[in-house]
């Protein structure tokens, strides 16, 4: 595959991508990841529990204290909701690009952009899920050294719903890992055709 | 010339990441302080919190990996494996730093809704030590992210004039 000097070697051939069976696998995985991340966001944002405690009794009338547990009391859960929201939007946009994007000319940037964005969103969802997981562990077990009481025995439903959101987010994380590797593998498949021309090109005068 | 430049940039990034992970591990492990508050001995160590134990484990794994890869980074046969492992290590680093930051923020500001008091007033030197370790871990996570993107760029741009 010797080229004349001055001719450009095409790096990414866009339409090789669209005829492969792995395209539908990737699309299905993206749909699942979108659903998992969206479910995690929704469950966390709508997570709220109110409980009334009796703190003292004056004479015969009890003194009540009403406490509410909301997700935005904890910054880690806010970060979790934002991260999962961003990841679900990313997957939605990638699905649309895959289905409707063949009309636009990306000048060879489509596949590397998809791979880079997948890696960045992988890091984002991993950070959000792990921060919320350790904060939930703190709420469940408390920390006797720092004199922090556990709160899950009083707010059981809040903790259960939070656990559900965490499970959905870890599922989205596993799916994003597979999607990211598949995107990078797609780069390799298309680019390996230009590897053989390496030796020919280096010998050309500059 | 371009090939040497690439090798130099990659090795510099790996050295930076290795130094950052090493310092994060060491600073977190050596952080302990005892305070006496009203006759009660109050001692703060990193092993009191499972989150910080996870942080030390993750940074130690990244340090060991960085040391091994520094000696192997120019071999062609393990190139692709190293790219994949770099992504995995970057993932581990970002998760550990975000988890440790979440717990450290509670330690500094407390959580008034849960009735958790901040501990940094009793053990200020411990808090400063942990902050230093977290900053080093943050630098390591960003260095690995930049390294991943740069490896992707190197992989996609074969060395010939376009």
ipTM of the modeled complex: 0.86
The ranges assigned to domains in chain A are 24-191
pLDDT higher than threshold 70 for residue A205: no
CB-based burial label for B31 (10 Å; 0-12, 13-18, 19+) = buried
What values do phi and psi take at A150, rounded to 5?
-80, 150
Cα–Cα distance, A63 to A67 (Å, whole number): 13
Residues in chain A, how many?
206
In this predicted model, what pLDDT tens digit does every residue of A50-67 receive, in sequence order? 888 887 778 788 888 888
Alpha carbon distance A85, A42 (integer Å): 9
Residues 86-115, chain A: which have Cβ within 8 Å of B? Answer: 112, 115
The pLDDT tens digits for B122-148 are: 888 899 999 999 999 999 999 999 999
Q: Are the C-beta atoms of residues A151 and A69 closer than 8 Å to each other?
A: yes
Stronger pLDDT, A84 or B48, i.e. the higher one? A84
pTM for the model: 0.83
Whether A200 shows a pLDDT value over 50: the answer reads no
**Nearest CA to CA, how far is B65 from chain A (Å)?**
19
Averaged pLDDT for residues A81-85:
96
Tokens of B32: 């302990």
Residue B143 domain-assigned? yes
pLDDT score recorded for residue B140: 95
Residue B28, domain member (yes or no): no
φ and ψ of A2, to 5 deg: -80, 135
Q: Count Cβ neighbours within 10 Å for each residue of B114-131 and write b for 16 or more, e otherwise.
A: bebebbbebbeebbebbe
Q: How many domains does chain B have?
A: 1
Is the pLDDT score of A74 beyond 50? yes
* Rounded percentage of chain A residues whose pLDDT exceeds 90: 41
Query: Is residue B27 included in any domain, yes or no?
Result: no
- As a whole number, mean pLDDT of residues A67-76 equals 88
pLDDT tens digit sequence for A131-172? 999 999 988 988 888 888 888 888 889 999 999 999 999 999
Q: What is the pLDDT of residue A39?
A: 96
Decide if B102 is inside a domain: yes
Question: Rounded to an integer, what distance in angstroms lies between the CA atom of residue A114 and that of residue A103?
Answer: 17
pLDDT of amino acid A34: 96
Model pLDDT, residue A191:
56
Q: Which domain holds residue B90?
A: 1-18+47-157
Q: Inform me whether the pLDDT recorded for A11 exceeds 90.
A: no
User: What is the model's pLDDT at position B161?
Assistant: 52
Interface test with A, best of B98, B108, B109, B152 (most A CBs within 10 A): B98
pLDDT at A199 over 80: no
User: How would you label A91-123 residue by residue, b for 16+ Cβ within 10 Å and e otherwise?
Assistant: bbebbeebeeeeeeeeeeebbbebbbebbebbb
**If we measure between CA atoms, which residue out of B80, B83, B93, B102 comes closest to residue B18?**
B93
Give a yes or no: residue B39 inside a domain.
no
Note the pLDDT tens digit of each residue in A25-45: 999 999 999 999 999 999 999
Q: Which residues of A touch B59 (CB under 8 A)?
A: none
> What part of A 21-80 touches B (C-beta under 8 Å)?
67, 69, 73-76, 79
Per-residue pLDDT reduced to its tens digit, B76-120? 778 878 888 998 999 999 999 999 999 999 888 888 888 888 888
- Neighbouring C-beta atoms of residue A164, cutoff 10 Å: 15
Q: Which residues pair with A148 in a beta bridge?
A: A143
Mean pLDDT of the B13-32 span: 93
Looking at beta carbons, which residues of chain A come within 8 Å of B106? Answer: 135, 138, 148
Structure token digits, residue B26: 């060491």
**Tens of pLDDT, residues A109-126:** 788 889 889 999 999 999
Determine how β-strand B40-45 pairs with β-strand A61-70: unpaired
Residues comprising chain B, all counted: 162
Are the C-beta atoms of B106 and B114 separated by less than 8 Å? no
Query: What is the CB neighbour count within 10 angstroms for residue A40?
Result: 31
Q: Residue B123 has which token pair?
A: 């053990």
pLDDT digits (tens, 9 = 90+) for B45-77: 888 889 999 999 999 999 999 999 988 866 777
pLDDT recorded at residue A196: 43
On whether residue B144 sits in a domain, the answer given is yes
């Amino acid at each position: 595959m010797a080229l004349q000097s001055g001719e450009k070697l095409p790096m990414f051939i866009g339409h090789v991508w669209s005829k492969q069976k792995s395209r539908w696998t990737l699309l299905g995985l993206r749909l699942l990841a979108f659903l998992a991340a969206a479910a995690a966001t929704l469950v966390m944002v709508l997570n709220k529990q109110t409980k009334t405690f009796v703190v003292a009794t004056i004479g015969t009338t009890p003194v009540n204290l009403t406490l509410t547990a909301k997700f935005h009391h904890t910054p880690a859960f806010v970060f979790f909701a934002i991260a999962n929201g961003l990841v679900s939007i990313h997957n939605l946009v990638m699905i649309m690009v895959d289905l409707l994007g063949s009309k636009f000319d990306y000048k060879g940037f489509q596949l590397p952009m998809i791979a880079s964005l997948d890696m960045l969103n992988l890091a984002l969802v991993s950070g959000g899920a792990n921060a919320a997981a350790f904060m939930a562990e703190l709420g469940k077990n408390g920390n006797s050294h720092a004199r922090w009481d556990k709160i899950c025995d009083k707010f059981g439903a809040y903790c259960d719903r939070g656990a559900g959101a965490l499970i959905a987010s870890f599922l989205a994380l596993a799916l994003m890992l597979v999607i990211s590797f598949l995107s990078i593998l797609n780069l390799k498949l298309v680019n390996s055709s230009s590897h053989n021309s390496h030796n020919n090109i280096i010998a050309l005068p500059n | 010339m371009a090939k040497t430049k690439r090798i130099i940039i990659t090795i510099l990034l790996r050295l930076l990441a290795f130094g950052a992970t090493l310092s994060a591990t060491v600073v977190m492990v050596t952080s302990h302080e005892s305070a006496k508050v009203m006759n009660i001995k109050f001692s703060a160590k990193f092993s009191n919190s499972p989150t910080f134990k996870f942080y030390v484990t993750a940074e130690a794994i990244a340090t060991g990996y960085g040391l091994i890869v520094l000696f192997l980074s120019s071999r062609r046969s393990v190139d692709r494996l190293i790219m994949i492992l770099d992504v995995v290590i970057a993932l581990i680093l970002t998760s550990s730093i975000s988890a440790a930051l979440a717990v450290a923020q509670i330690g500094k500001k407390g959580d008034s809704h849960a009735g958790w008091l901040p501990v940094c007033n009793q053990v200020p030197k411990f808090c400063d030590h942990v902050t230093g370790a977290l900053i080093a871990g943050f630098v390591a996570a960003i260095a690995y992210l930049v390294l991943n993107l740069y490896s992707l760029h190197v992989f996609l741009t074969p060395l010939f004039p376009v």
